[in-house]
Copies of this chain bind each other. A is one copy, B any other.
Amino acid sequence: LDYQHVQVPFEITLWIMLASLAKIGFHLYNKLPSVVPESCLLIFVGLIMGGIIYGLNDKSPPVMDSDIFFLYLLPPIVLDAGYFMPSRPFFENIGTILLYAVVGTIWNVFGIGFSLYGICQVKSFHLQDVSLLHNLLFGSLIAAVDPVAVLAVFEEIHVNEKLHILVFGESLLNDAVTVVLYKLFRSFCEMPAIKTVDVFAGIGKFFVVGIGGVLVGLTFGMIAAFTTRFTKNIRVIEPLFVFLYSYLSYLAAEMFHLSGIVAIIACAMGMKRYVEANISLKSHTTVKYFMKMWSSVSDTLIFIFLGVSTIGENHEWNWPYICFTVIFCLIWRALGVLVLTFFVNRFHVNTVTSKDQFIIAYGGLRGAICFSLVFLLPDFDRKKLFIAATTVVILFTVFVQGMTIRPLVDLLDVTKKRESAPTVGEQIHIRFLDHLLAGIEDISGHWGQYYWKDKLEYFNSKYLQKILLREYDQPKSSIVLLYEKLERKHAIELAEAGQLGHAPSHPSLLNSHRTVVTDRKSEDILNPDVLENIQEILARNLYRIRRTVPAYSRHTLPGETEPAEQAEEILILRHRSL
């Protein structure tokens, strides 16, 4: 027996296997996941596993390594989140999201840090040795809402799209703030004296870390899109580039102390559009499938490891500190959301309702990022206290808040996500309004979101598409192609059905060809770009009207119908209407 030799890959494979089997187990009984969130069940499995390991070895089970978490487990989840991010609601609410992510997180960090420092001054709690800086450091790691936990819970409760993107977007973008504050306070802890310069340098870092992350991500995204231009002869390695470049963007950002999460999201959102157009349909299925699979497994592993790591002797149970941490986390988040939303609502017509505010505040779940950060702390006296407090906060938010949020959403009657896709009319109107508003903004000299969107679209079609897309010249008016195909098919069918004779030169066939030609002519009269867009919308909606698929789910791909099936359906609809 030579276990040493194969130990590393063998144990990794076994852990992944355990995670996958646990997932299968939960989904065997359909009732269980509808009551208890999967994340809770997985933590529970982890607790049991940890207990077994602890019982057998009589020493603390291995703790989730922070490097493994940040380098291998987190990227797939963030990549999946970025790749399947609904871009319209995200960019529409980008201001609000940034406000929550930046100002809200800073508010929470200082709020929690200072009030915990207040608690430490109470003599009977025996906490007087915890300095203000240590409290702020703890605040910086415990304040950040965790994207993994938020995704796991929110994808199951189906709240409306805006509410979802507000919480989820915040949890992703606050990474830049967390990275900066955490590293700042940690370096302050090790410095003998803090100068004012250091504080200002810290503030400057926010922008470097955040904007740098975006730039790194976009650069890699563009290179990825450019690379997939040349993969026509070797389709099987196409999916690889999507993963390689986004992972490289994450690693490069981490290497330069920028925000890796922000980088990978920028990379995924940037390349998606071009990569999808360049790679084959099968490659794209593989990309989507593997992304879902990978993030699903990572997510499972993280929660199991969270459970395993909870067991053991790493904790110092100072209950006042721990209880007040939980309370302050709740209070400061609630206050922060209230205050910030007050300002947001003053500048927006489409306000955030008080029910939504409650869910935003209540949905501030903490997770594995806090946990990994607390283990990365340099060793000092009270590290075990911080670990204990972090563990309790995570378990409290995931179990108590995670399990009660669904009944609360039902009870408060929070606006749910509409299950049907927008109709053609709506989409066309939205598009026309976008153009209209862009025009108004241009005339009034106001550089708002519509103006920038329009400029970006122009830049994209004028330069980017030419560089990044392989088949740019070919007109992509899919509805015309579809129509031609249908007409041809229909003509063949009619001819062969014996109704109109057997020769292919029959008038009906010629007729159908003429229809296509007229169709093409009408296209030439209108501006082809606009027409193409409308045609795309039509092509998508003609069939989609009757589909009701939720927009995002971790475990399933957005339902795709075979194009042929779609074509058949359209054919039948058309026949009926005639």
Name A residues whose Cβ lies closer than 8 Å to a Cβ of B.
Answer: 1-3, 5-6, 8-10, 13-14, 16-17, 20-21, 23-24, 27-28, 30, 67, 71-72, 227, 230-231, 233-237, 239-241, 244, 247-248, 251-252, 254-257, 282-283, 285-286, 289-290, 292-293, 296-297, 489, 492-494, 496-499, 555-557, 562, 564-565, 568, 572, 575-576
How distant is the Cα of A416 from the Cα of B381 in the complex, in angstroms?
Answer: 76
Report, nearest first, the 7 A-B pairs whose CB atoms are least far apart: A564-B564, A27-B233, A499-B499, A286-B289, A496-B575, A236-B292, A27-B234
Closest B residue to A29 by beta carbon equals B233
**Given contact pairs A234-B555, A290-B290, A562-B564, A241 touches B20 in the complex (Cβ within 8 A):** yes
| Nearest-Cβ distance from residue A459 to partner chain B, whole angstroms | 27
Which residues of the partner chain B approach A572 to less than 8 Å between Cβ atoms?
A: 492, 496
Which residues of the partner chain B approach A227 to less than 8 Å between Cβ atoms?
A: 21, 24
Closest B residue to A567 by beta carbon equals B564
| Nearest-Cβ distance from residue A201 to partner chain B, whole angstroms | 17
| Nearest-Cβ distance from residue A80 to partner chain B, whole angstroms | 10
Q: Is the CB of B297 within 8 A of A240?
A: yes
How distant is the Cα of A27 from the Cα of B576 in the complex, in angstroms?
Answer: 49
For the A-B complex with A235-B556, A236-B292 known, give 9 more contacts whose Cβ atoms are closer than 8 Å. Answer: A2-B254, A16-B240, A16-B244, A23-B237, A236-B555, A283-B289, A496-B572, A497-B497, A498-B499
Q: Is the CB of B234 within 8 A of A23?
A: yes
Closest B residue to A564 by beta carbon equals B564
Which residues of the partner chain B approach A241 to less than 8 Å between Cβ atoms?
A: 20
Which residues of the partner chain B approach A251 to less than 8 Å between Cβ atoms?
A: 6, 9-10, 13
How distant is the Cα of A67 from the Cα of B8 in the complex, in angstroms?
Answer: 11
Which residues of the partner chain B approach A234 to less than 8 Å between Cβ atoms?
A: 23-24, 27, 555
Q: Is the CB of B236 within 8 A of A293?
A: yes
How distant is the Cα of A13 from the Cα of B296 in the complex, in angstroms?
Answer: 22
Q: Is the CB of B285 within 8 A of A6?
A: no
How distant is the Cα of A170 from the Cα of B237 in the complex, in angstroms?
Answer: 28
Q: Is the CB of B497 within 8 A of A13?
A: no
Which residues of the partner chain B approach A2 to less than 8 Å between Cβ atoms?
A: 254-257
How distant is the Cα of A1 from the Cα of B255 in the complex, in angstroms?
Answer: 6
How distant is the Cα of A498 from the Cα of B490 in the complex, in angstroms?
Answer: 13
| Nearest-Cβ distance from residue A180 to partner chain B, whole angstroms | 15
Q: Is the CB of B496 within 8 A of A237?
A: no
| Nearest-Cβ distance from residue A106 to partner chain B, whole angstroms | 24
Closest B residue to A244 by beta carbon equals B17
Which residues of the partner chain B approach A24 to less than 8 Å between Cβ atoms?
A: 227, 230-231, 234, 237
| Nearest-Cβ distance from residue A357 to partner chain B, whole angstroms | 34
Q: Is the CB of A296 within 8 A of B27?
A: no
Which residues of the partner chain B approach A555 to less than 8 Å between Cβ atoms?
A: 234-236
Among B5, B244, B564, which residue has its beta carbon within 8 angstroms of that of A20?
B244
Closest B residue to A10 by beta carbon equals B251
| Nearest-Cβ distance from residue A494 to partner chain B, whole angstroms | 6
How distant is the Cα of A285 from the Cα of B8 in the complex, in angstroms?
Answer: 29
